[in-house]
């Protein structure tokens, strides 16, 4: 597996963050290593071997202090180049991508990021015309089932 800061190594190992200590990284690696070990996956040895080697490569990067620092720096650069998408659909409505607000060190009490308005969903089931149509369709279906049963009984006699 080639080195790629676009891939989230922390997520692949699972249950760790960039601030996780060595003990947490080792514990998470062992859990995943047992899951992807070729001996634990009979019939899928080749797939498990590839996943296991990929996991081992990631673990070697995260366990080495210099490699981990380099990965974290490259990862931050990659994430900083990705611009959050923002769509202005209606006035006072703002849709943005998910940002990790905790990593920004911003006082959330003083800033209003997104004005929230509830989505309005029309419940067609409460409209009187819709209810009439549904009752009519269900009644016709019920009558068709009764006629089919009557016809089957009449044919068998």
**pLDDT, position 144:** 97
- What whole-number distance in Å separates Cα of residue 20 and Cα of residue 55? 17
Give the 3-state DSSP-derived string for 19-79, with helices as H, strands as E and coil as C: CCCHHHHHHHHHHHHHHHCHHHCCCCHHHHHHHHHHHHHHHHHHHCHHHHHHHHHHHHHHH
Q: What is the mean pLDDT of the chain?
A: 75
3-state secondary structure of 8: coil
Instruction: Name the pLDDT band for 110 (thresholds 50, 70, 90).
Output: very low
The mean per-residue pLDDT over the stretch 58-82 comes to 82
**Paired strand residues for 86:** 96
**pLDDT, position 87:** 47
pLDDT per residue over 4-59, tens digit each?
A: 767 778 888 877 888 888 888 888 888 888 888 888 888 888 888 888 888 888 88
**pLDDT, position 36:** 83
DSSP per-residue letters across 80-141: HHSPPPEE--STT--EE----GGGGT--TTS-------PPP---GGGSHHHHHHHHHHHHHH
Residues 6+ away with beta carbon under 8 Å from 112? none
With a pLDDT cut of 70, the percent of the chain lying above it is 66
* Burial (Cβ within 10 Å: 0-12, 13-18, ≥19) of residue 37: middle
Select from 124, 98, 134, 127 the least CA-distant residue to 113: 98
pTM, rounded to two decimals: 0.49
List phi, psi (to 5°) of 133. Answer: -65, -45
The mean per-residue pLDDT over the stretch 92-112 comes to 53
Query: Would strands 95-96 and 86-87 be described as parallel, antiparallel, or unpaired?
Result: antiparallel
Over 70: is that where the pLDDT of 81 sits? Answer: no
């Amino acid at each position: 597996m080639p080195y790629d800061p676009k891939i989230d190594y922390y997520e692949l190992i699972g249950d760790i963050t960039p601030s996780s200590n060595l003990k947490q990284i080792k514990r998470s690696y062992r859990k995943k290593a047992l899951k992807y070990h070729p001996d634990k996956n009979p019939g899928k040895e080749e797939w498990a071997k590839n996943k296991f080697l990929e996991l081992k490569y990631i673990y070697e990067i995260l366990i080495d202090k210099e490699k981990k620092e380099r990965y974290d720096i490259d990862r931050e650069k990659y994430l900083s180049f990705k611009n959050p998408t923002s769509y202005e659909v209606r006035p006072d409505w703002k849709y943005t991508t998910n940002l990790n607000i905790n990593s920004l060190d911003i006082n959330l009490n003083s800033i209003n990021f997104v004005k929230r308005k509830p989505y309005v969903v029309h419940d067609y089931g409460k409209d009187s015309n819709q209810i009439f149509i549904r009752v009519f369709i269900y009644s016709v279906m019920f009558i068709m089932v009764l006629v089919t049963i009557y016809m089957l009984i009449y044919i068998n006699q």
